[in-house]
């Protein structure tokens, strides 16, 4: 416990040190540009020095932001309940804020009117914003997924929504970023927009790496008999559950380990049809 506390304290000390250095460097660079000695120099010499100060700020500022991000990563990775998706959000948010700070200070050092740029680009921003509605929807949906966490990386999930035309997409979750959720299954990589994922009916029914399929069975086939046959053919490694009922069939979800071939499911169905 003492060792863990010592590590966390050291991490926070490094974070505070880098943050103070970043802010302190910004103050020093600004005061240096505004100094009377610099202002008394010839115009050309003054511009060269100002550009040098701005360039040094961009380089050192970006380095300090990167060190801040790495320090936060190191502290978070030691936490036993750290979630890689939350860590990704923290990474990107810290990078965005840090680099934006470096950029704004750098533009001020170069005597660029940041406010004028923002006001002048307001109309353009509105036009771009209207055209980027889907992008914003996916970004907001990504934040919802990070906050709610309906599934984890490595879990086998299925998504069904009207946006897919009723088609169900399944696979192992390999990545969830701000814009897309990425599934993999059988060498196939599916990239789904986060907005469609949020509006989907999500089935999380398999362990990491397991295969999941749904099988419609006629009512003439007993679920218990089918379950027993699947258990026999997979050595007791199959997990079955009834999911829904329709007029002529009922749907069974079958989960088998990744080292087994889905052919065993087809063979079990063939056995029952032959008996029928």
Q: What does the buried/exposed string (b/e) look like for 229-255 if buried means 16 or more CB atoms within 10 Å of the residue's CB? A: bbeebbeeebbbeeeeeeeeebebbbb
- Please indicate, yes or no, whether residues 81 and 7 belong to a single structural domain of this protein: yes
Q: pLDDT (tens digit, 9 = 90+) per residue, 183-238?
A: 887 678 888 888 888 888 888 865 555 677 778 888 888 888 888 888 888 888 88
- Please indicate, yes or no, whether residues 199 and 248 belong to a single structural domain of this protein: no
Q: Residue 251: which CATH number?
A: 3.30.1370
Among 188, 206, 224, the domain boundary falls at 206
Structural domain count, the chain: 3
Give a yes or no: residue 88 inside a domain.
Answer: yes
Question: Does the pLDDT value for residue 51 go beyond 80?
Answer: yes
8 A C-beta contact, residue 69 and residue 98 = yes
Question: Does the pLDDT value for residue 117 go beyond 60?
Answer: no
Q: pLDDT (tens digit, 9 = 90+) per residue, 4-28?
A: 667 667 777 888 888 888 888 888 8
- For position 189, what pLDDT does the model report? 86
Residue-range definition of the domain harbouring residue 245: 211-275
- Please indicate, yes or no, whether residues 153 and 80 belong to a single structural domain of this protein: no
- For position 88, what pLDDT does the model report? 63
* pLDDT classification of 82: cutoffs 50, 70, 90: low
Rounded to the nearest 5 percent, the helix, strand and coil shares of the chain are 60, 20, 20
- Helix (H), strand (E) at residue 19: helix 2-34
Give a yes or no: residue 173 inside a domain.
Answer: yes
Cα separations (Å) of 163 from 157, 198, 248? 17, 11, 27
Q: Residue 157: which CATH number?
A: 2.30.30.600
- Please indicate, yes or no, whether residues 99 and 189 belong to a single structural domain of this protein: no
- Please indicate, yes or no, whether residues 156 and 220 belong to a single structural domain of this protein: no
Question: DSSP for 139-161?
Answer: HHHHHHHHHH-SS-TT-EEEEE-
């Amino acid at each position: 416990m003492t060792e863990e506390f010592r590590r966390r304290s050291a991490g926070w000390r490094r974070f505070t040190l880098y943050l103070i250095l970043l802010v302190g460097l910004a103050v020093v660079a600004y005061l240096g540009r505004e100094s009377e000695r610099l202002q008394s120099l010839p115009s050309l010499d003054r511009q060269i020095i100002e550009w040098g100060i701005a360039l040094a700020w961009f380089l050192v500022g970006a380095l300090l932001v990167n060190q801040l991000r790495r320090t936060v990563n190191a502290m978070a990775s030691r936490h036993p309940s750290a979630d890689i998706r939350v860590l990704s959000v923290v990474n990107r948010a810290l990078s965005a804020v840090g680099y934006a700070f470096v950029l704004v200070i750098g533009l001020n050092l170069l005597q660029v009117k940041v406010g004028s740029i923002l006001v002048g680009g307001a109309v353009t921003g509105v036009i771009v914003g209207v055209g980027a509605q889907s992008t914003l929807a996916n970004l907001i949906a990504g934040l919802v997924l990070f906050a709610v966490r309906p599934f984890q990386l490595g879990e086998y999930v299925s998504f069904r929504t009207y946006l897919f035309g009723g088609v169900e997409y399944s696979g192992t979750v390999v990545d969830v970023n701000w814009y897309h959720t990425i599934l993999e299954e059988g060498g196939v990589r599916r990239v789904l927009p986060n907005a469609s994922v949020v509006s989907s009916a999500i089935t999380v029914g398999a362990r990491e790496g397991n295969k999941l399929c749904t099988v419609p069975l006629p009512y003439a086939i007993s679920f218990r008999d089918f379950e027993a046959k699947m258990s026999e053919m997979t050595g007791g490694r199959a997990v079955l559950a009834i999911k829904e009922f329709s007029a002529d069939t009922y749907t069974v979800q079958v989960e088998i380990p990744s080292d087994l071939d889905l052919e065993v499911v087809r063979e079990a169905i063939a056995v029952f049809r032959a008996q029928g």
